[in-house]
Chains A and B, each alone.
Chain A
Amino acid sequence: MSDLQQLYQTIILEHAKARHGAVELTPLAEAVALGAAGGLRVAESHQINTTCGDEVTLRVSLGAGAETDAAVTDLVWTGEGCSISQASASILTDTLRGLSTASARALLDNFREMLRSRGKIEPDEEILGDAAAFGGVSRYPARVKCAMLPWVAFEAALIEAESH
């Protein structure tokens, strides 16, 4: 596989088209009120990659429970950008939905560490699942931000949801 094919693995190109979890977001206040009625804490985060203008708005619904074992009940997003950022958002929703906040954070840390390793850390498929496909991105420092964009949004939205 060439470096370029390593970067743009088939699974990434497929997710960039399939865009799992991508929806037209309802107004946040409505979603928060609706969530609250069902015992969910809803929050979102909008992130922009200033170098290219890519955007992701990611919304988290957090179930009841103690902070670390509250479940990430739902994840939806909207956004525009390169195949790496869009595929990353799509895979994020598949990967993190249903996890406890503790597990989601652990996975996020693992993902970030792998991406920042400049290709030195082999992605652990056991932990990352499909997100391991972004291993090739870590060799392209200019693209790490693209892959991280939705994950940064998730991190910020999670903190916000927990504060509710």
Chain B
Amino acid sequence: MTSFAPSSALSPAHGAQHPELAPLTDIDVERIRNDFPVLHQTVNGHPLVYLDSGATSQNPISVMEAEQEYYEQRNAAVHRGAHTLAVEATEGFEAAREKVAAFVGAQTDEIVWTSNATEAINLLAYSFSNASLGLGGPAARRFSLGAGDEIVVTEMEHHANLIPWQQLALRTGATLRFIPVLDDGTLDLLAAADVVGPHTRLLAFTHGSNVTGTINPVAELVALARRVGALVVLDACQTVPHLPVDVKALDVDFAVFSGHKMLGPTGIGALYGKAELLADMPPFLTGGSMITTVDMTNAEFLAPPQRFEAGTQRISQAIALAAAVDYLSETGMDRVHTWEAQLGQRLVAGLAEIPGVRLLGPGLGVERLGLAAVDVAGVHAHDVGQFLDDAGIAVRVGHHCAQPLHRRLGVTASTRASTYLYNTTDEVDLFLATLAEVAPFFGVTS
């Protein structure tokens, strides 16, 4: 196996280092698997091989127990009411924020709960949109966009980090530009230096691609943005679950990630924003729980993060997400990263041996996430996925919410295997062996 030098773009998150623990092995992973009930079942007569954690991850028992414990013992509305349960629910909810913040190196009040990462990006886009209408007063002018301003994204973005910016451009008259992707699935950094120019107000890009597994050079991109005074939004959905991420070390202005991709429940995600930026942003969703004083024509808003958390919150989800963070921290994010990097390289090495299979993204030896998307010549991704499912292997097929990237790479759809800390080398090997049977089954000769 290829070994990996830690990338300069990755810094150990607070409390996530376990230098005393040896790297994960298949024996450790077998133990980890015992914590995930869903993995112990047969699908279509075969033991389930779950290789779709890039879409959604599975939950350890501790996460489900945390949610159940909350509903059995402490269920109440947070930040209102003075009764005992309300106090306990509020404490659990805010302790969860503290834990998740520490996990990514943020201050506690720099984490805003959202329903998912998509909502977190929309929160930003709508807050900036509101600022562009003059809401938020002079302090919010730094977020105001109009004709002549440019928003820059990349060609490899998930639709969640593309469409909200397209829509923001349409609402404000700003122009959307993008950093192109090279044939190998990495960003064209030479072009990036031109695209990010004097009119750029905002640069939004993904930390790690959900299709190619590419890990983008955050420091380099942040430097381009800083040069022109643009804000930086990082989509960290594919990295926070899989590597140590420290938003302060990365020096991004905003970052988003989702709970269900990091062993947590669905229905919760988070927006990180630098405190001084969140403080100047006008709210997106408005209503209860985000105000100080209200009269019939006006309202004053709370400080962040409550300013951005209107309505009854995702309390059980936040508490369960904190349990997921505990699980990851106890395992050690550096160990998770190293294990998945090994699986990723094993995938890439194995795929190169299968005739007619084209890997999307960087090849062997290049740092990547523990996932691989492929095109099987002559067989549509849906058919590939069906064949794998028949063998109990769950993968993602389709465009993975990244149509422009697929188009750029010359395919309409691909088949993606994505690993997590509970996947074994045997599972990766079984996936590879089964994938090799696909073309013969469909009568495709290469």
Contacts and interface: CB of A to CB of B under 8 A. Distances in A.
Interface stretch (A31-39, A60-68, A79-87, A122-130): A79-87
A23 interface: no
A52 B44 contact: no
Interface in A46-62: 51-54
Given A8-B442, A13-B443, A52 B381 contact: yes
Interface stretch (B59-67, B133-141, B190-198, B397-405): B397-405
B286 interface: no
A82 B412 contact: no
A53 B399 contact: yes
B387 interface: yes
B108 to A, nearest CB: 39
A13 B390 CA distance: 17
Contacts of A2: 390
Contacts of B379: 83
B386 interface: yes
Given A13-B442, A13-B443, A81 B390 contact: no
A109 interface: no
Interface string B43-69: 010000000000000000000000000
B442 A53 contact: no
A71 interface: no
B210 to A, nearest CB: 16
A7 interface: yes
B383 A53 contact: no
Contacts of A83: 379-380, 383, 442
A29 interface: no
B413 interface: yes
Interface residues of A, number: 20
Interface in A78-97: 80-84, 86
A7 B413 contact: no
A80 B403 CA distance: 15
Contacts of B412: 53, 80
B387 A4 contact: yes
A4 B390 contact: yes
A3 B386 CA distance: 11
A82 B390 contact: no
Interface in B151-172: none
Contact of B382 (A3, A4, A17, A84): A84
A82 B438 CA distance: 13
A54 B380 CA distance: 10
Contacts of B381: 52, 82
A81 B387 contact: no
Interface in B416-446: 441-443
A148 interface: no
Nearest to B390: A4
A54 B386 contact: no
A146 interface: yes
Contacts of A54: 380, 382
B252 to A, nearest CB: 31
B413 A52 contact: yes
A17 B442 CA distance: 10
A143 interface: yes
Contacts of B382: 52, 54, 81-82, 84, 143, 146
B44 A53 contact: no
Interface string B288-327: 0000000000000000000000000000000000000000
A104 B399 CA distance: 34
A13 B438 CA distance: 13
Contacts of B403: 53
Nearest to A4: B390
Interface in A103-134: none
A82 B383 contact: yes
A82 B398 contact: no
A16 to B, nearest CB: 8
A78 to B, nearest CB: 14
A4 B440 CA distance: 14
Nearest to B406: A53
Nearest to A83: B383
Nearest to B397: A52
B443 A53 contact: no
Contacts of A86: 380
Interface string B19-37: 0000000000000000000
B384 to A, nearest CB: 9
Given A52-B381, A52-B398, A83-B383, 12 more contacts: A4-B386, A8-B386, A51-B398, A52-B382, A52-B413, A53-B403, A80-B412, A81-B382, A82-B382, A82-B383, A84-B383, A140-B386
Interface of B: 44, 379-383, 386-387, 390, 397-399, 403, 412-413, 441-443
Interface of A: 2-4, 7-8, 13, 17, 51-54, 80-84, 86, 140, 143, 146
26 contacts: A3-B390, A4-B386, A4-B387, A4-B390, A7-B386, A8-B383, A8-B441, A8-B442, A13-B442, A13-B443, A17-B443, A52-B382, A52-B397, A52-B398, A53-B398, A53-B399, A53-B412, A53-B413, A80-B412, A81-B380, A82-B381, A82-B383, A83-B380, A84-B382, A143-B382, A146-B382
- Chain A to chain B: the 9 pairs with minimum beta-carbon distance, closest first: A82-B382, A82-B380, A4-B390, A52-B398, A82-B383, A83-B383, A52-B382, A53-B399, A53-B412
